[in-house]
């Protein structure tokens, strides 16, 4: 009998993972920028480098065994015990915490500003991770909730004179309600159809904000938004706002982590893996999908309020479809359903374009190439589980 050919042993998989295909694909992307000669040189260099990497990977297992035996021999002679993995993890966490908390003391204002923006995107990406990563619902218009949160705070502050803390619960409640209302008709659909509906919702919100001049000031945007204040002191300095954002990031990660480990989180994961099987064992899939949309919108609204408070200005140009794509890329890069992975993905995709600003012509090429390479070699994301990958 013929044995079934696995996905990793298929001819298509072997070709797309071959050094020739990878080098050719990147050289073709480079061709319009530098010409045929440079693209040819890049092809040769990449082909040689990837081929050597593949040859090296064959000997990694043998080398690991040799090093492991050598390490055991040394430990046996010296009778020294290595710290446990949990202890190393705690030490690494403490070290990173010190670096993060001390950033305003050794970092330039430009670096602190990028870190603040990263914190806002971490909260936003964690909200989308609830919908896409935990529940498996593809949302291409998530930036709409971000926009509603930002504009609701801007309008409450500039038109009604309400401060940050008075506007925050109202803005977040409004965004959560809008997520719940969108979910009622949208969740009758699945897959690509759901993605199209959410994409349409995002564009509708952006067009309303852009054209309702009497209320939102249209493309001119809304300025003069007050920053937050604590005990009568405005948080207007960049270093102070950095710590303010960190508090909300930690709060978001803590709450989402607790919810993901609860009965609701387990139900979301069950729906993501197999909705029919989940329904057959008594999980109310419709109700839990509504919870997912509303809970994800809650964090998007919070991120929107923080964005408006930080920038002190909002306009429709900040909430385009590409923002939704960027946030989705953060979730995919970090790993669907992985909370620390999404944090890492948000930091990378906020900081990487800034690091490549001096080669502005090629930065989007490098970013796109990196994401495609990730989909080829690690579709589950940087910190995603083996069984979880982006299926669109």
* pLDDT at position 10: 58
Q: What is the pLDDT along the chain (392 residues), one digit of tens a residue?
A: 444 444 555 555 555 566 776 777 677 766 666 667 777 777 787 777 777 766 666 565 555 555 555 555 544 554 445 455 566 667 777 777 777 787 778 778 888 889 999 999 999 999 999 999 898 888 888 999 999 999 999 999 998 888 889 999 999 999 999 988 888 887 777 778 888 888 999 999 999 999 988 888 888 989 888 888 887 777 878 888 888 999 999 999 999 999 989 999 999 999 888 888 888 888 888 889 899 999 999 999 999 999 999 998 999 988 988 888 889 988 988 888 888 889 988 998 888 777 766 656 666 676 677 777 777 777 777 776 554 544 44
Candidates 327, 328, 260, 326; CA nearest to 295 is 260
Structure tokens at 237: 């300095």
Residue reference for tokens 């978001």: 252
pTM score, two decimals?
0.77
Neighbours of 374 (CB within 10 A): 17
Neighbours of 244 (CB within 10 A): 18
- Cβ-based neighbours of 90, under 8 Å, separated by 6 or more: none
* pLDDT at position 188: 78
What are residue 383's phi and psi, to 5 degrees? -125, 20
Helices (H), the chain: 11-16, 19-58, 60-78, 85-101, 103-106, 109-128, 143-159, 164-186, 191-211, 213-216, 238-260, 263-273, 275-280, 285-311, 321-334, 339-355, 360-377
CA distance 167 to 156: 6
| Residue 313: strand pairing partners | 223
Are the CB atoms for 351 and 117 separated by under 8 Å? no
* pLDDT at position 68: 58
What are residue 232's phi and psi, to 5 degrees? 80, 0
CA distance 39 to 30: 6
Are the CB atoms for 145 and 127 separated by under 8 Å? yes
CA distance 142 to 272: 18
* pLDDT at position 2: 47
Whole-angstrom Cα Rg for the chain? 24
134: which DSSP letter?
I
The half-sphere exposure of 257 on its side-chain side, counting CA atoms within 13 A, is 11
Q: How far apart are the first and last CA of the chain?
A: 34
What DSSP letter does each residue of 198-212 carry, written as one string? HHHHHHHHHHHHHH-
Q: Map out the domains of the chain with their CATH numbers.
A: 1-82 (no CATH), 106-377 (1.10.3470)
Are the CB atoms for 20 and 47 separated by under 8 Å? yes
What are residue 169's phi and psi, to 5 degrees? -65, -35
CA distance 323 to 321: 5
* pLDDT at position 78: 47
**In Å, how far from its chain's centre is CA 318?**
17
Q: What is the enclosing helix (H) or strand (E) of 249?
A: helix 238-260
* pLDDT at position 349: 87
Q: What is the enclosing helix (H) or strand (E) of 45?
A: helix 19-58
């Amino acid at each position: 009998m013929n044995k079934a050919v696995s996905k990793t042993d298929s001819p298509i998989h072997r070709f797309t993972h071959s050094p020739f295909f990878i080098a050719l694909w990147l050289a073709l992307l480079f061709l319009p920028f530098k010409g045929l000669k440079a693209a040819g040189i890049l092809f040769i260099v990449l082909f040689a480098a990837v081929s050597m990497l593949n040859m090296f990977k064959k000997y990694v297992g043998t080398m690991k065994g040799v090093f492991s035996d050598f390490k055991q021999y040394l430990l046996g002679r010296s009778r020294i015990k290595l710290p446990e993995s949990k202890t190393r993890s705690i030490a690494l966490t403490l070290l990173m915490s010190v670096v993060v908390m001390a950033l305003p003391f050794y970092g330039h204002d430009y670096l602190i500003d990028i870190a603040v923006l990263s914190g806002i995107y971490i909260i936003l990406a964690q909200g989308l991770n609830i919908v896409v990563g935990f529940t498996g619902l593809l949302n291409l218009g998530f930036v709409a909730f971000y926009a509603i949160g930002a504009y609701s705070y801007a309008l409450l502050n500039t038109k009604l004179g309400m401060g940050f803390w008075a506007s925050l619960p109202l803005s977040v409640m409004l965004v959560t309600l809008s997520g719940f209302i969108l979910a009622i008709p949208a969740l009758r659909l699945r897959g690509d159809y759901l993605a199209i509906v959410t994409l349409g919702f995002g564009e509708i919100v952006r067009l309303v904000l852009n054209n309702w001049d009497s209320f939102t000031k249209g493309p001119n945007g809304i300025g003069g938004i007050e920053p937050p204040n604590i005990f009568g002191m405005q948080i207007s300095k960049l270093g102070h706002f950095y710590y303010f954002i960190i508090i909300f990031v930690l709060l978001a990660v803590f709450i989402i982590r607790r919810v993901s480990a609860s009965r609701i989180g387990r139900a979301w994961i069950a729906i993501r893996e197999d909705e029919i099987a989940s329904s057959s064992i008594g999980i109310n899939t419709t109700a839990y999908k509504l919870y997912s949309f509303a809970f994800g919108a809650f964090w998007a609204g919070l991120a929107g309020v923080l964005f408006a408070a930080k920038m002190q200005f909002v306009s429709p140009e900040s909430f385009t479809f590409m923002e939704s794509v960027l946030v989705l890329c953060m979730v995919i890069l970090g790993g669907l359903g992985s909370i620390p992975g999404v944090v890492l993905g948000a930091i990378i995709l906020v900081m990487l374009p800034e690091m490549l600003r001096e080669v502005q012509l090629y930065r989007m090429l490098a970013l796109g190439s990196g994401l495609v390479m990730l989909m080829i070699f690690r579709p589950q994301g940087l910190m995603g589980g083996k069984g979880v990958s982006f299926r669109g």
